[in-house]
Each structure stands twice: as C-alpha cells, then as structure tokens.
Amino acid sequence: MKLTKQLLFSLFLLLFIASCTDDDSNDSDDGGETVQENPLSGDFFPSNANNEWNYDVENKDNETSETRNSTDRLFVETPTTNTSAFTLDVNDNSVSNGTMSGILTNGSLSKTDLTLSTTGQLAFAVDGLEDINIPYSDAVLYHLDAPDGSELSSFEGTITQEIESFPVTINYTLKTNQVKNWTTIEIDGETYNDVTQSTFVLTIAIDIAITSATIKPVVDEQESLIITNYFGKDIGLIKTEANTAVTPNSDTITLLEGIPGIDTSQIPSNISTKNTQILTSYTVN
C-alpha cells in the first residue's frame, strides 16, 4: 500500500475545491467602527454579451523551480439581462489554467454596484476518492465599500473520506477579505485607475485515523492557499496570484513509515506552488 505524492496532491485538490463551500456560515463584517478610506463605485466586472478577457498564466513549482506557461480565454457565456446574474466560461468550454478562471467559471456570478459574488456547485472526481459534490452560495469576491482589511465571507466545514482504507478528516476555513481600493496602481508595468484588491485565505487541517484509537495529523492547521485578486473598473479581473503552501506533519509521516505495507517515500516534505494569471487583452461592451 502506497501513500504516494499523487495521493497527497489529490488531498490538496480536494481541499482547494472544498474551500468555496458554505456548509456552516457566510458572514460579512464591516467592523461597525471603520469605513472605506477610498470608496469606489462602478462596474468592476462588465458582463455583457461578447465580453472576453485573455490571460497569460504561469504555474511554478517553488520546490523544483519547474514552470509551465499557458493561456486562458475567459468569456461571458450568459450575459446580464434583466437581473444581476451572469455566467462565464473559459477556453471554449475546456479546462482553466488559471486558478481564478476556475473559480469564476464553476458557478453563476451576481453583482451589485458594490459587490461581486459567486454561487454554484462543484462536481469532480479525484483518483482514490469518492466523487465530490460541493455547493457554495454568495461567496463575496469583492466589496467596494468595505473597509480595508475587513472580512467579507467566512466558511467552515468538514469533509470525510476513506483513502486506501484509512479514514481521513479534512477541516477547513475559507475567508474572503477586502484588502484595498486603489485610485491608481501599477500592475506588471501597466498603470490602472480604480482597482479593488481582495483575497481568499484557505486554512486546512487533515487528520488520518491509523486505528480507531489513533488519530494523527497529516497536515497541521495552516494557511495553505492565499489568492490575491485585482479587479479594475470597466475592465474586470486584471491579475490573480495564487500561492499554495502545504507542509505535512513529519512525525505522522515517520509513524506511517513504521507500518508494514505502507510506502511513504514519495510524500514530499513540502508543497509550494504559485499560479499567476495576468491580463493581456480584453473586449468589453
């Protein structure tokens, strides 16, 4: 029996997809004490028919320095008409290369003069796991009037799976935060006016039941995924930087090594990747 690197990556994929669910709560917090120092208003994700955005995407493994370059074409699939709702698709109904492209196309979007939110259900299969179906509702991607540093949404939940006969429990917390509104900002050599910056922060903890009486952490609680987004007025998504960093619990890995029939040789001591998505051209109506 092998606990392989592929299996560990499958766990992390499960955690990333699950981060968008709202099993427990969806709370907004304006603090009640502070206000946005630089309030913005307008359309920060134009959603008319035939709108599209093209991105250069770089995916880098920080452990090996291996880099893979690709592109994404994001486009409006169902435009806003009499409601605020719309949907996007990517790469002519193919898979996304950018982290945020995947989030934006995995459900429906809705917007107001101040906010962009997403609602949907993810269904996917990962080797060694049961099919996963995860609903999420009104995850706030930005709020133009929220104070700098304020929490926009918070989601907590638990996922249980059995992997190669071992029960695994995954606890997660996802928070979206408003970072800052910019009147002017330079992003990768280009100057943009009226840009809002926000983040996803995913915290995970993974436990494995070696026996009914022995439960050990495979991954101690840690911030494993931080996604920083920049949305521009009358433009849409300008840039995303998604950093993933997960360090398995070395004591648990050592314990598993002592169990006959288990091969842990391919489990990495650390996983660290960066997915960068940068706007190269766009058409909005």
Asked if 161 contacts 170 with a C-beta cutoff of 8 angstroms, the reply is yes
Residue 208 tokens, joined: 């494995």
Give whichever of 29-43, 50-64, 157-171 has the largest mean pLDDT.
50-64
Higher-pLDDT residue of 176, 69: 69
Q: Determine the pLDDT at residue 134.
A: 54
Phi-psi region of 62 (alpha: psi -120 to 50; beta: other; left: phi over 0): alpha
For CA atoms 166, 171, 22, 140, give the dihedral sign. Answer: negative
Q: Is the pLDDT of residue 239 over 80?
A: yes
Residue 31 tokens, joined: 């603090």
pTM of the model: 0.83
Q: Where are the alpha helices (H) located in the chain, listed in sequence order?
A: 5-18, 99-105, 250-257
User: How far is the first Cα of the chain from the last one, in angstroms, to the nearest whole number?
Assistant: 56
- Type and span of the H or E element at 115: strand 115-124
Confidence of residue 22 (pLDDT cuts 50, 70, 90): very low
CA distances in angstroms from 276 to 59, 70, 201, 230, 258, listed in the order given: 6, 10, 16, 12, 39
Measured between alpha carbons, how far is 179 from 12 in angstroms, rounded to an integer? 26
Q: Determine the pLDDT at residue 17.
A: 41
b/e code 160-171 from CB counts within 10 Å (16+ = b): ebebeebebbbb
Mean pLDDT of 185-201: 95
- Tell me the pLDDT tens digit for each residue of 162-192: 877 788 888 887 788 999 999 999 999 999 9
Q: Determine the pLDDT at residue 24.
A: 45
Measured CA angle at 139 (ends 240, 154), to 5 deg: 100
Asked if 69 contacts 108 with a C-beta cutoff of 8 angstroms, the reply is no
Asked if 142 contacts 153 with a C-beta cutoff of 8 angstroms, the reply is no
In sequence order, which residues have a C-beta less than 8 Å from that of residue 93 and are 6 or more positions away? none
Confidence of residue 279 (pLDDT cuts 50, 70, 90): very high
Confidence of residue 126 (pLDDT cuts 50, 70, 90): very low
Higher-pLDDT residue of 193, 38: 193
In sequence order, which residues have a C-beta less than 8 Å from that of residue 254 and are 6 or more positions away? none
* Number of C-beta neighbours around residue 136 at 10 A: 24
Measured between alpha carbons, how far is 276 from 244 in angstroms, rounded to an integer? 11
